[in-house]
Structure 1
Amino acid sequence: MRETSEYTPRIAETALGPVEYAVVGTGAPVVVVHGTPGGIDAAALMARILPRDGIAAILLSRPGYLGTPLGGNATIDRQADLLAALLDHLGVDRAGVYTWSGGGPAGYRLAVRHPRRVTAIAANAACRRAYRAPPEDLPTRLMFTTAPGRWLLRALAAHSPERYIEGALAGEGDLTEDQLAARVAEVFTDPARRRFVLDLGETTFRDRHRRTGYGNDLDQLAAITSLDLETITAPTLVVQGTADSDLPPDDSTFAARTIPGAEVLLLDAGTHLALYTHPDAEAVQRRVVDLLLRAADR
């Protein structure tokens, strides 16, 4: 395990198996559930929007990623139960859930299967139905699965960051040429947004440390029939970019219509990274934090 300036990873021996985790900050507990691919490092990037003096962000690697073995926790429901087991290990009775993309189903099912444990849900472009990844061409596969591809992406991020950001945003959204150029300029000139996009790349390599989790995610996401969203009782905020090419925006609008009392915030011309890169990102991030804090006080 590699210690970073943002978190110190540990292994929790829970009732359902080992989980790589870290707790960052103090205050209301919030489980941060990363997407596909990802790991605890991706959760740490997500948690940058959470105040360290108000929220204790519980970062983790989902099964098959980095330091958390897949073991018997392959299914979405087992992953949800593993999140509850981690809370048990930490002595946390109730926590908020902040989830993104392919981590959405596990976050939603935690609220369905363990309703008293969840104070609120902040769902960012969260998958809610069967998802099948589009075909991947050979150059893209080589870029994200081989050592030379990793070296090339790292070199691009280090020496041509603006071009790197352009590629990341183009790959995660259906933006016009003018929209893309404007968004790249906005992200490149904002230190927090630029750092997020550049750092995110390291969490997307499908090497031996993430390959098992990624393959399992694709299998489990494709097999979704219903997440029983209508049974969720926790206050829920759904965030979605309208130009997201990775997750159909209807996943979020449907979830907001189905979860009782849920609210949806649509970011116009927002990509899959909208919560972190959109011009309105800071305002929406404040809404996310406000929900998580208000719910913790109830």
Structure 2
Amino acid sequence: MIAQTTLGPVDYDIQGTGAPVVVLHGSPGGVDAARLMARILPPDRFRAILLSRPGYLDTPLAGRETIDAQADLVAALLDELGIDRAGVYSWSGGGPAGYRHAVRHPERVTAIVANAAVSQAYTVPEQDLPTRLMTTTAPGQWLMRLIAAHQPEEYVKGELSGEGDLTPEELAARVAQVMADPDARRFALDLGPTSMPDRHRKVGYDNDLAQFAAIDSLELERITAPTLVVQGTADADLPPAQSTFAATTIPGAELLALDRGTHLALYVHPDRAAVQDRVREILLG
């Protein structure tokens, strides 16, 4: 659906009928990635407000390039939907907009869950040429979809390898665990198409990288909402120090670490159940 807010159109969806929670996807991503994130929010307990951030899918970028503009767009979407206050649940590149929404509109935020979320200046880790060709070109993206469909174990292995600093032994064990766990396996395979900087996401992705590299301060010390920060300790995509910084800067914030977890830890780690319970507890208030 497209909401015509006072700050322009937003591609969004709503799932569930419970406590309202805005779900902010990473980089790349879109409303489809937010939908995957919301799988841990039971629809009878949460009203998940999913959106594509500017530059992704059907949310235009023009005029909403800055992190603060994207934070204000969240408030404008809540206005359009007639929602006064909502939780904020972000992952990775959705973190800056979520944090700034809480700083700029504190009266609108009931709680924050920041999962492996950018909190300081950030640049993408250098990728080797084969990885760049696989993730940023149309033939490479087609091949990745083919592997996911016909060689799912190899796809999950590549995904976890790229998103974590696991030893070969740890990687083999984690892949076996994910493949034997229907929910984790489904998440890992479904995430792939939403996380490629294809022609529907490249504009937003490029803008995110420019904005994140230029971060001076998100003013996290001004956040007043109850905050839970989640981080895998073997995350190769977002340095765990980013989450440590957020947890030590936001007054009263709680940090939960998933031991040897990758960037996907909240959704596929063998110990994720207790952390997901805490996520729901914080968001319900």
AA aligned opposite 2:280: V
Alignment of 1:82-93 (within 5 A): 82-93=73-84
Check whether the contact 1:17–1:71 (CA below 8 A) recurs between aligned residues. Answer: no
C-alpha RMSD over aligned residues: 0.8
Aligned to 1:180: 171
Check whether the contact 1:105–1:127 (CA below 8 A) recurs between aligned residues. Answer: yes
1:277 aligns with 2:268: yes
CA drift of 1:149 comes to 1.2
Aligned to 2:104: 113
1:215 and 1:160 map into 2 onto residues whose CA distance is: 30
1:23 and 1:220 map into 2 onto residues whose CA distance is: 27
Aligned to 1:135: 126
1:259 to 218, 232, 250: 250
2:192 and 2:101 map into 1 onto residues whose CA distance is: 28
- Residue segments in structure 1 that go unaligned for 5+ positions in a row: 1-9
Other structure's SS at 2:124 match: coil
CA drift of 1:71 comes to 1.4
Aligned to 2:72: 81
AA aligned opposite 1:253: T
Aligned to 1:29: 20
- Residue segments in structure 2 that go unaligned for 5+ positions in a row: none
Question: Structure 1 stretch 127-136 or stretch 237-246: which is displaced more?
Answer: 127-136
Deviation readout 1:158-210 (Å, 9 max, x if unpaired):
11111111110010011111111111111001111000000110012212110
1:248 and 1:153 map into 2 onto residues whose CA distance is: 25
AA aligned opposite 2:145: R
1:62 and 1:92 map into 2 onto residues whose CA distance is: 19
Other structure's SS at 2:186 match: helix
Deviation readout 1:27-59 (Å, 9 max, x if unpaired):
100000000000001000000000110100000
Alignment of 1:1-298 (within 5 A): 10-293=1-284, 295=285
Other structure's SS at 1:88 match: helix
CA drift of 1:217 comes to 0.2
Aligned to 1:7: none
Other structure's SS at 2:244 match: helix
CA drift of 1:140 comes to 1.9
AA aligned opposite 2:12: Y
CA drift of 1:147 comes to 2.5
Other structure's SS at 2:61 match: coil
Check whether the contact 1:242–1:271 (CA below 8 A) recurs between aligned residues. Answer: yes
2:40 and 2:261 map into 1 onto residues whose CA distance is: 17
Structure 1 runs, 4 residues or longer, greater than 6 Å off: none
Check whether the contact 1:122–1:237 (CA below 8 A) recurs between aligned residues. Answer: yes
Check whether the contact 2:120–2:212 (CA below 8 A) recurs between aligned residues. Answer: yes
Q: TM-score, normalised by structure 1?
A: 0.94
Check whether the contact 1:172–1:245 (CA below 8 A) recurs between aligned residues. Answer: yes
Deviation readout 1:74-124 (Å, 9 max, x if unpaired):
000000000000000000000000000011000000000000000000000
Other structure's SS at 2:59 match: coil
Check whether the contact 1:45–1:200 (CA below 8 A) recurs between aligned residues. Answer: yes
1:173 and 1:205 map into 2 onto residues whose CA distance is: 17
Other structure's SS at 2:53 match: coil
Q: How many residues align?
A: 285
Deviation readout 1:207-266 (Å, 9 max, x if unpaired):
211010000000000000101111100000000001111111011111111111110001
Question: Structure 1 stretch 19-28 or stretch 134-143: which is displaced more?
Answer: 134-143
CA drift of 1:134 comes to 2.4
Other structure's SS at 1:68 match: coil
CA drift of 1:156 comes to 0.8
AA aligned opposite 1:106: A
